[in-house]
Chain A
Amino acid sequence: MTVNSDSTSRISGAANQWYASAVSTAIVGAVFSLIILVLLVSNFIRSSVIQAQREQELINQKVEIQNRPGDEQLLERIRRLDLQYRQNLFRNLDFMRKGAYLLLGSVVITLIGFKGASSLKKRMPTLQPAADRLTEQVCDAKFSRLAVTAGIVVLGFGALLLAVRPEIAFFETIQLDTSIPSPEQISKNWPRFRGPEGLGISAYTNVPDHWDVKTGEGILWKTEVPLAGMNSPVVWEDRVFLSGGDPNSLEVYCFDAFDGRLLWTGSVGRLSMRNDNESLDVMEDTGYAAPTVATDGRRIYAIFATGVVGSFDFDGNKIWEKDLGMPDNMYGYACSLAMFENLLLIQNDQGYVEDEKSVFIALESFSGRTIWQAKRPVASSWTSPIVAQIDGRYQLITCSNPLVIAYNPADGTELWRADCLGADVAPSPIYANGLVFVIEPHMNTLAIRPDGSGDVTETHIAYKIDFAPDICSPVSNGEMLFLLSTDGLLCCYKTEDGTKLWEKEMGEYFQSSPSVVGDKLYLLSEEGVMFIAEVEPEYKEVAKIALGEKCFASPAFADGRIYIRGRKNLYCIGN
């Protein structure tokens, strides 16, 4: 809208004065507004910088006053700084508020001036020469269509940009292997503590029966394990897994089964470690990584003494992590993991019976989701559960003080229980020759018929043996049951009725559990000496091989190989 110079003369003299004052009001108002705006903005920027500095300094000084108590000057400085900070804070608030009102007022005045001026100055509407209306309208329409099309392009482009972002998948099952291994596959590997069924029986009879640490003969490889732990090696095809921990780290290790290279290290528990650097103390003898890991051939699962459970795939990517809370366990949590189909089974026994804290938890293997939980009226224990196939159905058998409880592993319903144990139960149960063998340390070994239901204490205990180890779990080759006490007394009984067959003083201390390989017994002492013996009709030692390193973990058996974890190193015995 251009101004026709003629039209200005239409403003009369008096109106001209008003016009002039309106314009001047507008200008003054605008200048004033600008000044206030600049002041407000500069004050905002400056004070936020200075206040941030002051705050940081105050924090630093408050820390320093801890180191230098009684320093009067420092005290004075802190107090003065604090006063400045506070004064500035409130002064700024006040300034902003007043400034905002002033700004509003001056803007209003400016607007009044402008509006007044424009209303006083009457402009004549000018008319462009009448263009060809038709062409104008056709053009308008065409350009409008173009503009809208341009709009489509812009929107489409914007949508494309926004859509090209990596999606953070939660549990898209396409990416996760939710299949479960077949029983055949499981039996070919050593996927948990004491082997595929937790019975300590090797599927392979071609394992070495001699090796020499000094010459290196029979030793395929030896690799140092970064962090120590009591847990035993777990083997699946070409991978060996261990876990280890110290107050700052909880780690899972994956080694190549054939050349011993440490392939990857996975770490858990950083999320739940509390920020005030407080370590969760665990008894040194047990350590942070007493429970043995478990695998289903797709992922490796580990639990630690702090109650953290983590899962990694075979390439080392962490799949999930869960914090069950620090278990209330006086010696340190040590129950190893078990698996059933796609469930990870965790025996979380804590405290005393009356604390009612113990619970058995089943997590979904690929997601960590809790599938079922069963509260157990038991105290802390250090045994590991087993899953046995008995008469066509699976039973999850657990030992604790005072109950032996068998569950249906798929849903946690209790099948039977027996009130027959006490004290600190550490040896894990086994199933052999139709009987479940459980141990009450220093008291009895009991054989229970697992075909009952409900409370079978009075009815299904087949027999008792009055010898019971306190740490090592029992092993059986079907006909004979072998019990090994910590101070080295090995006793053999008939599984059918519990009659004693023979006993042998080994002369060494044992913490790892005995294993059966074919018709031989493999015993690994604390000093690292492997005793290999035939068992019929009497104990007949076939080999006694020193490893040269202390051993507390039970060995793992694979095709032609034995994996032994010493205090520091992981050994692969084979040819």
Chain B
Amino acid sequence: MAEKSKPSPDRRQFLAEAFRYAALGTLGVIGGAAFAKRYRMVQDGKCVDSGLCKECGLFEKCYKPQVWQIDPYKCIACGNCATYCVLEESAVKCVQVYPVCGYCKICFGFFEPEPHDINEGAENQLCPTGAIKRTYIEDPYYEYTIDESLCIGCGKCVKGCNTFGNGSFFLQVRHDRCLNCNECAIAAACPSGAFVRVPADRPYLLKEVEHA
């Protein structure tokens, strides 16, 4: 054990003081750089990097406080959303976009691919928890709504609707339930990289009707 050539208490104090200023300076630089980056990127409430951001609508790269969301065009409805969420009842639920829906009598998100009969029997439904409600509107249109308290986010209806229907059913993170974890466990497990960070003031990526 060697003795340090003891600087006198004054010198030691001076050193400590110097280091303190250095530390505060470094923290200031880090903070400034991190903050400046954000400020530089968001001006007048619009993303400057407009090549990526369509009117701050849909994209991964935006710099406001962020929440997690699913890009419905990348989602392959693998079923991980139901199992990987840290919450027992996943914060991801299926949503229905009514203008896109075809209101089909034989809904491919509601019925199994080859249903036994066109009624609401359990043997005919895709949804394992019966969360889709089918209501008659007028001939031949039926309205399909999702009861969020029953939906578990498994994506079976999404797969059916995307493959054979209009794709009006898709999975979205529900922000009244989502904890907004720093690292979303579902995002880490998503096979198609459909989880993106979106600005908190535009927290949903809903499909829109493609105008003919």
Contact = CB atoms under 8 A, between A and B. Distances in A.
A–B direct touch, CB within 8 Å, in complex?
Answer: yes
A73 to B, nearest CB: 12
A78 B1 contact: no
B89 A93 contact: yes
Interface of B is mostly: loop
- Size category of the A interface is 20 to 34
Nearest to A137: B1
Interface of A is mostly: helix
Given A62-B112, A65-B116, A66-B114, A55 B128 contact: yes
Given A62-B112, A97-B88, A141-B1, A89 B129 contact: yes
B116 A66 contact: yes
A82 B88 contact: no
A360 interface: no
B1 A75 contact: no
B152 interface: yes
B17 interface: no
B102 interface: no
A122 interface: no
Interface in B92-145: 112, 114, 116, 121-123, 128-130
Among A65, A69, A78, A83, the most chain B Cβ lie within 10 Å of the Cβ of A65
A141 to B, nearest CB: 6
Nearest to B152: A89
B170 to A, nearest CB: 22
Contacts of B1: 137-138, 141
Contacts of A75: 116, 121, 123
B33 to A, nearest CB: 32
A531 interface: no
Nearest to A64: B123
A120 interface: no
A443 to B, nearest CB: 44
A96 B88 contact: yes
A79 interface: yes
Contacts of A46: none
A372 interface: no
Interface in A103-157: 137-138, 141
B128 A86 contact: yes
Given A75-B116, A89-B128, 17 more contacts: A58-B128, A62-B123, A65-B116, A65-B123, A78-B122, A78-B123, A79-B121, A81-B122, A82-B128, A82-B130, A83-B122, A86-B128, A86-B130, A89-B129, A137-B1, A138-B1, A141-B1
Interface of A: 55, 58, 61-62, 65-66, 69, 75, 78-79, 81-83, 85-86, 89-90, 93, 96-97, 137-138, 141
